[in-house]
Structure 1
Amino acid sequence: METNQNKARVMKAVAERNLVSIMNDTKWRELQDAVINTLLFPPPYQGKYLLDDRLYPEEFETDVSYWGDWIEGIAPFYTVEWIRVRPRYLKYRGRLVSPEVIDITDDFAKLLKELSIPYRQENETYTIYGYISDTSKLTL
């Protein structure tokens, strides 16, 4: 019962904010499966959820040294307003050596195109929207 109440709250927020659904559970699952099964590593991401004003993680402006939790971290999909993916991470090489940047940007962009997932690219991140008010700035 709690899931239905949560979903109703999400749909109310979507209607109040005049948002359009871009992704559905099937598209999110396709993306999730492709990321887990085809990429060198699951890229880190920042999530914004419809019923929460905070971002997870709050800071995401530079490369990070961790991978994204693509197995359980995004679900339930219907609550995702957007995720911002940085298809790179900093690989630790020791205290005295700078970390190595592992970059799968080309592979990630190719995956989005193959799955026909609309996105917005800014700097070194890809924003994938669950819901949006203006689709004119999206790339397919």
Structure 2
Amino acid sequence: MNEKLLKIINERQLVSVMNKTKWREVCEDFEELDSPHICIRYKLITSDDIFGFSPVWWDQLLEDASAIEWLDFEPVVSEHRGRLVSNKKTDRSAEILSILRRHSIRYSNQESYFRVWGYLTPGDCPEFV
């Protein structure tokens, strides 16, 4: 881990929940998942920006894994079918949860999303599932 990240972790008193191995397992499994792209949003400890829900290149996300504060999975995939037909909505909760459980990754429910925590700040008390 580089010095910039260590400085941020120490200044914000962050506690690591995930490690590089767990992030690698998650990213590899989602990359291999044979279904429409699951959208995620995430926040890095290096910024206050939240990267909105969109499909992601899992190998690129893995490069930033040591800086991920949290990662939300959108369980409902919306597939565009045309201008005159409403989007097709498919619930991918079972697939997402299967991967998280396979690797014993604890997550919390945030609104309708599944959140995997990379770091916790003092005062964070998520209810892990």
How high is the TM-score relative to the length of structure 1? Answer: 0.80
Query: For the Cα contact (< 8 Å) 2:30–2:58, is it kept in 1?
Result: yes
1:63-74 to 2 correspondence within 5 Å?
67-74=55-62
Q: Which residue number in structure 1 is paired with residue 71 of structure 2? A: 83
| Aligned-pair CA distance for 1:119 | 0.9
Task: Give the structure with the larger strand fraction.
Answer: 2
Tell me if 1:139 matches 2:128. yes
Per-residue CA distance 1:3-57 (angstroms, 9 max, x = gap): x6xx211111111111111111111000011111235234111111111111112
Query: For the Cα contact (< 8 Å) 1:44–1:68, is it kept in 2?
Result: yes
2-structure distance, mates of 1:67, 1:30: 18
| C-alpha distance 82-39 of structure 1, shift in aligned 2 (>3 A) | farther
Note the residue ranges of structure 1 that are not aligned, 5 or more in a row.
61-65
2-structure distance, mates of 1:68, 1:129: 17
Q: 2:90 aligns with which of 89, 99, 102?
A: 102
Amino acid at match of 1:38: L
CA RMSD of aligned residues (A): 2.0
1-structure distance, mates of 2:126, 2:19: 19
Query: For the Cα contact (< 8 Å) 1:47–1:56, is it kept in 2?
Result: yes
Specify the SS of the correspondent of 1:47.
strand
| Aligned-pair CA distance for 1:68 | 2.8
2-structure distance, mates of 1:90, 1:42: 9
Query: For the Cα contact (< 8 Å) 1:23–1:130, is it kept in 2?
Result: yes
Identity of aligned residues (%): 26
| C-alpha distance 55-47 of structure 1, shift in aligned 2 (>3 A) | same
2-structure distance, mates of 1:127, 1:50: 15
Count residues in correspondence.
128
| Aligned-pair CA distance for 1:136 | 4.2
